[in-house]
Amino acid sequence: MSEAAWERARTIADAVLYEGYLLYPYRADSMKNVARFQWGVLGGDEPDSIAAQFICTGRITLCVRFLQLQHRGVERAGPGGFEPVRELSAPSRTWLTWDEGIECELPFGPFEVAGLDQTIPLNVPGGRDVEPVDGGRLVRTREPMTGELVVRSEPEGDLWRVTLTVRNRDVAQPMIGTHVIAEGEFVSLLEPPPEAEAAVAACTQHRCFPVLAGKPGEHDLLLISPIILYDHPEVAEQSEGALFDATEIDEILTLRVMTMTDEEKAQARATDPRAASIIDQCDAMTPEAMQRLHGTLREPHSLIPEVPDGIDWWDPFADNAVQPDSDAVLVNGVPVAKGSRVRLHPSRRADAQDLFFDGKTARVTSVHEDVDGHKHVAVVVEDDPAADLHDWYGRYLYFAPEEVEPIGAQP
């Protein structure tokens, strides 16, 4: 595998590794950072393992990655020695007592996938580091961690189904953001070729999901992620650095950081080196870089009515061209409209979570047509406890006509 391909996979994996590591406003006293939460935590109050199954051939190489918890204690120098304190300030900067994350990367292999049956220990040593600072010192301590990687395979015709489990054996010391990068020759679990559909359908997952991590068309890299992703995920080229808080887009977070006071920025810098990097990155952002974050349109799904000849699209009378509450679309010769019951069969994977709706029954709320003439069927899932609430404020799921199957009597 080329270095460029590996770095591409690592870029995506790092986004997974640090998702939720530190949240805006990046200060230790923010409630969001007092009770921090990340995906892929093994141990502590979370289950001790993740497990995945995937289809491949030939040989595989595995790399287990996670964050090791490191406590950074701040100590002030005094006549009697060093005294633990929550905060230490000097003319140059401030330091806070804080829990940091240390990257751990454990590579294994290559393994012949045929007849594979391995249990590999995962051992990460503890440690203690002391860093002198103005007026005191920082004492960083890490507890040792123990775990295991279990890899087994079984034949699926000409292919192999691999079962991979990462387990933390010392739940008091959690593995954080745990995921695996695999190198080999893999089959997409989202869009498998016809000859592999049965093998893929037999795969089960526990707290993670494997996706192809290389460029589109490549099948030599797999990311087993605790966050649901598409095949061939990528970081937007407009993004200039990690912000850790994926509940917002880069532009909004950057603008929020820019509105922070100098005191708030100093508190963020004192919290964590990565927080300091975010503050510096936003402070140094040029107008051109900010402009790149604004106005990028990806995969538009705007439901613009078809406009009759002679009427401009912005004319209010253009809205009369369609009536989503009463329009219908033919599916297998059956008109589907508001009130229809359908069974969902997502095939386009327009959303990464569409696979959860496969086979579910749903109620149609409206039928739309976009600017390209494509039909969209809006639905609410019938066994969703919040179905009535979604219908009330218009939060629908949208599927193409070929992804729905009419069931029962139609209105």
My answer on whether 137 and 258 are in the same domain is yes
CATH of the domain at 329: 2.30.30
Contact between 380 and 397 under an 8 Å Cβ cutoff? The reply is yes
Per-residue model confidence as pLDDT tens digits over 96-128: 999 999 999 999 999 999 999 999 999 999 999
Instruction: Identify whether 64 is part of a domain.
Output: yes
CA distance 352 to 354: 6
My answer on whether 49 and 154 are in the same domain is yes
N-term to C-term CA, the chain: 56
Residue 314 has pLDDT above 70, yes or no: no
Q: What is the DSSP letter of 232?
A: S
Nearest to 68 by CA among 165, 150, 140, 164: 140
Proportion of the chain above pLDDT 90, given as a percent: 64
Token output for 364: 């149609």
Of the two residues 410 and 110, the one the predictor is more confident about is 110
Domain count along the chain = 2
My answer on whether 67 and 212 are in the same domain is yes
My answer on whether 279 and 226 are in the same domain is yes
My answer on whether 332 and 254 are in the same domain is no
Contact between 191 and 68 under an 8 Å Cβ cutoff? The reply is no
Per-residue confidence (pLDDT) for residue 301, from 0 to 100: 33
Per-residue confidence (pLDDT) for residue 307, from 0 to 100: 53
Residue 234 has pLDDT above 80, yes or no: yes
Per-residue model confidence as pLDDT tens digits over 316-372: 555 555 577 778 888 887 889 999 999 999 987 667 788 889 999 999 999 988 767
Instruction: Identify whether 304 is part of a domain.
Output: no
Per-residue confidence (pLDDT) for residue 60, from 0 to 100: 96
CA distance 280 to 26: 13
My answer on whether 341 and 274 are in the same domain is no
Proportion of the chain above pLDDT 70, given as a percent: 91
The kind and range of the H/E element at 333 are none
The kind and range of the H/E element at 390 are helix 387-393
Instruction: Identify whether 298 is part of a domain.
Output: no
Contact between 313 and 296 under an 8 Å Cβ cutoff? The reply is no
Average pLDDT for 163-171: 95
Nearest to 238 by CA among 315, 305, 202, 290: 290
My answer on whether 144 and 50 are in the same domain is yes
Residue 329 CA, chain-centre distance (Å), reads 35
Could you tell me the residue range of the domain that residue 380 belongs to? Answer: 316-407
Query: What's the chain's average pLDDT?
Result: 88
- Strand 341-344 and strand 87-89: pairing? unpaired
CA distance 260 to 110: 49
Q: What is the DSSP letter of 188?
A: -
Contact between 309 and 60 under an 8 Å Cβ cutoff? The reply is no
E strands of 159-277, at which residues? 159-168, 175-186, 205-206, 209-212, 221-225
Residue 304 has pLDDT above 50, yes or no: no
Per-residue confidence (pLDDT) for residue 302, from 0 to 100: 34
Burial class (CB in 10 A: 0-12, 13-18, 19+), 231: buried
Contact between 39 and 177 under an 8 Å Cβ cutoff? The reply is yes
Per-residue model confidence as pLDDT tens digits over 33-51: 887 878 999 998 899 999 9
Instruction: Identify whether 113 is part of a domain.
Output: yes
